[in-house]
Amino acid sequence: MTPQERMAELTHILDEANYNYYVLDEPTITDQEFDKYLRELEKLEEEYPEYASKNSPTKRVGGMVIDKFEKIEHKIPMLSLPDVFDESEIEAFDERIRKAGFHPEYVCELKIDGLSVSLHYENGELLTGATRGNGTIGEDITHNVQTIKTVPMRLKEPISIEVRGEIYMSKETLAKLNLEREKLDMPLLQNCRNAAAGSIRQLDSSVAAKRNLDTWIYHLPNPEDYGIKTQFESLEYMKSLGFKTNPNNRLVKDLKGILDFIHEYQEKRVSLPYDIDGVVIKVNDLEMQKRLGFTSKYPRWAVAYKFPAEEVLTKLTDIIFTVGRTGRITPNAVLEPVIVMGSTVKRATLHNEDYIVEKGLKIGDTVSIRKAGDVIPEVVEPKLERRTGNEKDFQMITNCPICGTTLEKKKGQVDHFCPNAHCPARHIEGLIHFVSRHAMDIDGFGEKIMEDFFNLGFIKSIPDIYHLDHHREDLIELEGYGNKSVDNLLDAIEESKKNSMEKLLFGLGIEGIGDKTALLLSRNYKTIENLSTKTKEELLELRDIGPTLAENIVSYFQDVDNQELIHTLSEIGLNMKFLGEELKSSDSISGKRFVVTGTISFMGRDEIERIIESYGGQASGSVSSKTDVVIVGEKAGSKETKARELGIPIWDENTLYNVFKELGEI
Ligand code: IVH
């Protein structure tokens, strides 16, 4: 087989595997096999770039960066639909069509809350993906569309075609993304639609690739070119070409069928894994559609029924204040528990003083609550007609609720701050550090969550983290958490008990002990107990431990409170032993100092550094005359230049691959 033939074969295998996994949800090969084929293809593409396809499965992982979004004209405008808000309007829609002399059947489809996309294929190959834009001119988002696993790169038939549908982000992906963002102290994304739109508007496709976007395809602008007679057939046809069409689409005979569908999905809405904001009703027969035609703005043959935004009333029983890590004060509404969109809401953020004053909220008010984007609960407004006269005016606090220090508000800012750097509220920094990735790595434990739990009094010290299960019911009722996310968090906490010693040691936050020193100490002393008995002199025998660090370690373990803490953690069941592998040995790695720079395609930097360290090599961040090897990936910058200037040996991706392969690490 020639390389070109093998590349075509690999492309076919990977396309099929991708389709079976993502579109049909029926995996046919293992992840390892998939990776193996993908790597083989990548390697061949490197060797024979002239045969590499523009739509290669290797493009799925992203990496393409564009300067700006080019414009794409929609030859057939991308129209939106007239919204209808109640059943009588649907009745009127049906009646209007019947009055025109038709006896329509309808296709009911879920109205997916994402952003619409137009996909063009030429001879079966993906040519472009574009946003709707103003309906006539959209933006070219091909580089990002290629990373969406359910968008076929090649169709099952080599035809030229345009299809349209919705790009969306699942609720689960949004939740995960928000947890990540929380950890990084970034503002949360309000809903799936904004998150999907934000991901698609990235110039660098590796961002979109990580966002796990998905599609439902629902519209064929040129059905007559393919001999298609009805909307339902066009859905089937697009499905047969390899597109992901929604399995809930339903052909109904009459108005009753439409209303049944709407009622059914109004109920099922909360349990769907993606957001919908209504139901789209389309005349099935395409000839009938053609004769009904368009108004200046909309088709006459379809409407979008929008679900009413669920607003419920409850009582604002109190406003309490929480203190953030930076000392920022946030007022929170304490609400009489109420169910909104399937989950109980007990609290909602009120952001700051101005927000409360603008809404004119009083304690004791009946307020309406809405879930903004179905995720974060929001107090909409007080119901003035329900006031009894017993409501209490809101008064902004003047002192920190934790330490009592007078609050400050800078000119032009809306937030109040506690200026006390020693405010116990800031203890939570230590707690945040304990759960962070390089320490105990408790998945799902972001800063915001820690702040919440701290302020609610659930967690005041490290051991409290391991008693969080006592508050399971309270947690489930908190805003933004559900049964599943709470259980996942509790599982992750439980799982962290098994961590190897170095993670705990780093998590304890002993001054000057970073994750690398924690690993060195753990490898050498094997148990916390053993480490705790070491003298300064003994510690100094270790390479990389200087007098200050040795002093810090000794005095940490001499402190009675710290001894108590470690004893308690051990009682709780935290592992106190080093579980990591013994140092392996390799002439190419052991004892050498490495710097990894740029992107290595087959492995993340953390993993590379972990392997280097497992052979007793050192990974450091900056190149100096002490560096032994610089590993250079794609888009390496100044570090590579410096390494060359200093004449330091350089390993490119292939060399690294070969070394790791030889060592059996790949
Ligand atoms: S049909 C001419 N079907 O809702 C037909 N639209 O205002 C145009 N949408 O812009 C669209 N799910 O972004 C159609 N099953 C569905 C849909 C859907 C979501 C969006 C689409 C469109 C808007 C309608």
Domain residue extents for the chain: 3-61, 83-306, 311-393, 425-496, 501-572, 593-662
Q: Is the CB of 133 under 6 A from ligand 1?
A: no
Q: Is the CB of 112 under 6 A from ligand 1?
A: yes
Distance between CA atoms of 647 and 654, rounded to whole angstroms? 20
Order across the sheet with 276-283: list the strands. 83-84, 302-306, 276-283, 106-112, 250-252
Note the pLDDT of residue 410: 82
The three-state (H, E, C) secondary structure of 313-342, written as one string: EEEEEEEEEEECCCCEEEEEEEEEEEEECC
Within 10 Å of residue 585's Cβ, how many Cβ atoms?
11
Tell me which of 78, 162, 166 to substitute to probe ligand 1's pocket, judged by most ligand atoms within 8 Å of the beta carbon: 166
Give the residue whose CA is nearest to atom 12 of ligand 1: 111
Does the annotation mark 282 as catalytic? no
Cα of 298 vs centre of ligand 1, distance in Å, is: 11
Distance between CA atoms of 56 and 14, rounded to whole angstroms? 9
Note the pLDDT of residue 184: 62
pLDDT digit string, tens, across residues 70-85: 999 999 999 999 999 8
pLDDT digit string, tens, across residues 210-225: 999 999 999 999 999 9
Tell me which of 78, 218, 274, 289 to substitute to probe ligand 1's pocket, judged by most ligand atoms within 8 Å of the beta carbon: 218
Q: In degrees rounded to 5, what are phi and psi of residue 333?
A: -80, 130
The three-state (H, E, C) secondary structure of 250-275, written as one string: EEECCHHHHHHHHHHHHHHHHHCCCC
Cα of 164 vs centre of ligand 1, distance in Å, is: 9
Cα of 153 vs centre of ligand 1, distance in Å, is: 23
Give the CA distances from residue 129 to residues 118, 150, 322, 552, in Å, rounded to whole numbers and listed in that order.
6, 13, 45, 58
E strands along 272-310, which residues?
276-283, 302-306
Distance between CA atoms of 162 and 185, rounded to whole angstroms? 41
Q: Is the CB of 116 under 6 A from ligand 1?
A: yes
DSSP 451-490: HHHHHTTS-SSHHHHTTGGGGHHHHHHSTT--HHHHHHHH
Ligand 1 atom with least separation from CA of 298: 2
Cα of 223 vs centre of ligand 1, distance in Å, is: 17
pTM over 0.75: no
Note the pLDDT of residue 660: 92
Active-site residue, from 59, 111, 171, 448: 111
- 105 vs 477, which has greater pLDDT? 105
Cα of 257 vs centre of ligand 1, distance in Å, is: 20
Note the pLDDT of residue 295: 85
Cα of 81 vs centre of ligand 1, distance in Å, is: 7
Kindly tell me if the per-residue pLDDT of 192 is higher than 70.
yes
Q: Is the CB of 304 under 6 A from ligand 1?
A: yes
Architecture of domain 425-496: Orthogonal Bundle (1.10)
Tokens (6 digits) for 117: 């996309």
Tell me which of 116, 244, 286 to substitute to probe ligand 1's pocket, judged by most ligand atoms within 8 Å of the beta carbon: 116
CATH T-level fold of 593-662: Rossmann fold (3.40.50)
501-572 has the same fold as 425-496: yes
CATH code assigned to 83-306: 3.30.470.30
CATH T-level fold of 311-393: OB fold (Dihydrolipoamide Acetyltransferase, E2P) (2.40.50)
Mean pLDDT (the chain, rounded): 91
Contact (Cβ atoms closer than 8 angstroms) between residue 596 and residue 633: yes
Q: In degrees rounded to 5, what are phi and psi of residue 542?
A: -75, 135
Give the residue whose CA is nearest to atom 23 of ligand 1: 80
- Lowest mean pLDDT: which of 250-259, 310-319, 334-343? 334-343
Ligand 1 atom with least separation from CA of 110: 15
Give the residue whose CA is nearest to atom 2 of ligand 1: 79
Within 10 Å of residue 85's Cβ, how many Cβ atoms?
13
Give the residue whose CA is nearest to atom 9 of ligand 1: 111
CATH code assigned to 501-572: 1.10.150.20
Q: Is 3-61 CATH 1.10.287.610?
A: yes
Q: Is the CB of 218 under 6 A from ligand 1?
A: yes
Q: Is the CB of 179 under 6 A from ligand 1?
A: no
Mean pLDDT computed over 324-330 = 78
Q: Is the CB of 378 under 6 A from ligand 1?
A: no
pLDDT digit string, tens, across residues 610-649: 889 888 888 888 888 889 999 998 888 888 988 999 999 9
Note the pLDDT of residue 178: 83
pLDDT digit string, tens, across residues 461-485: 999 999 999 988 888 877 566 778 8
Give the CA distances from residue 245 to residues 24, 101, 153, 232, 258, in Å, rounded to whole numbers and listed in that order.
10, 31, 16, 11, 19
Q: Whole-angstrom distance between the N-terminal and C-terminal Cα of the chain?
A: 26
Mean pLDDT computed over 515-544 = 89
